[in-house]
Structure 1
Amino acid sequence: MLETLYKEAQDRKANPKEGAYTNYLYNKGLDKILKKVGEEATEVVIAAKNADKDEIANETADVLYHLAVMLVETGVTLDDVETVLQARQGKQSNIHDRAEITDY
Structure 2
Amino acid sequence: MSLYDLDKTIQSRKTADPDSSWTAKLFAKGPEKCAEKFGEEAVEAIIEAVKGDREKLIGEAADSLYHLLVMCAARDITLSDIEAELDKRTGQSGIAEKASRG
- TM-score range for the pair, normalised by the shorter chain length: 0.7 to 0.9
Mark the runs of 5 or more structure 2 residues left unpaired by the alignment. Answer: 97-102
Deviates more, 1:13-22 or 1:52-61: 13-22
Distance 1:17 1:27 in 2: 7
Mark the runs of 5 or more structure 1 residues left unpaired by the alignment. Answer: 96-104
Extract structure 1 runs of 4+ deviating beyond 3 A: none
Q: Which residue of 2 aligns with 1:26?
A: 27
- The answer as to whether partners of 1:44 and 1:56 remain within 8 angstroms in 2 is yes
Q: 1:79 to 1:35 in 2, by over 3 A?
A: same
Matched residue count: 95
> CA RMSD of the aligned region, Å?
1.5
Q: TM-score, normalised by structure 1?
A: 0.83
- The answer as to whether partners of 1:2 and 1:68 remain within 8 angstroms in 2 is no
Q: Which residue of 1 aligns with 2:8?
A: 7
Distance 1:16 1:65 in 2: 19
Q: Which residue of 1 aligns with 2:69?
A: 68
Residue 77 (structure 1) shift: 1.7
Task: Please say which structure displays the higher CA radius of gyration.
Answer: 1
| Identity of matched residues, % | 38
Q: TM-score, normalised by structure 2?
A: 0.84
Distance 1:33 1:8 in 2: 16
Does residue 1:80 correspond to 2:77, yes or no?
A: no
